[in-house]
Amino acid sequence: MKMQTKILFLAGAMLALFSCSKKSSNSTTSVAAELTGTWKISQFYVDLNNNGVMDATEKITDTSFANEIMKVNADGTYSVTYYSLVTNGTWSLLYNNTYIKSTDTATKYYNIVTITNNAMELKDTTGVASGANILWFFYVKQ
């Protein structure tokens, strides 16, 4: 009986954990609708000390990143313009709409930390297993 109670408790805890979301919505239509549009990067952080936390000292103050504009289309395509460099690719939502799969010259997975009609925070852990730093991107809708 104790084992069954533990299993039920763990199953309930897992369900609660994976059901919680900071996003404004978790339906595919809502997240996709919020994602669609033109976004400009407003802040950028690099986890330089590899502690998994976005520390104030890790904010990139070089303003050249502020020239990045990302256009996300409803048809699953996107383009990123950085100065005169344009990168095109495709996107899709994964894992109960908590991740964006982005494919251009490489495939990346961005955790959607928050998304609303006018702001978005993405976390990139793509290369962490091979020694790369976690990256956080903050965008505002144009």
Whether 37 contacts 120, CB under 8 Å? no
The dihedrals phi and psi of 111, each to the nearest 5 degrees, come to -75, 125
Closest C-alpha among 12, 31, 18 to residue 93: 31
Domain extent at residue 114: 23-141
Q: What is the pTM of this model?
A: 0.76
Cα–Cα distance between 78 and 59 in angstroms, integer?
26
Closest C-alpha among 107, 108, 91 to residue 39: 91
79: left (phi over 0), alpha (psi -120 to 50) or beta: beta
- Domain for residue 111, yes or no? yes
Cα–Cα distance between 39 and 128 in angstroms, integer?
25
- Domain for residue 37, yes or no? yes
- Domain for residue 1, yes or no? no
Which pLDDT belongs to residue 62?
A: 80
Cα–Cα distance between 78 and 72 in angstroms, integer?
4
AA identity, residue 45: Y
Q: How many domains does the chain have?
A: 1
Q: Domain with 108 in it: what CATH number?
A: 2.40.128.280
Which pLDDT belongs to residue 129?
A: 76
- Predicted confidence (pLDDT) per residue in 83-131, tens digit: 889 999 999 999 999 999 999 988 999 999 999 989 999 999 888 877 8
The dihedrals phi and psi of 2, each to the nearest 5 degrees, come to -60, -40
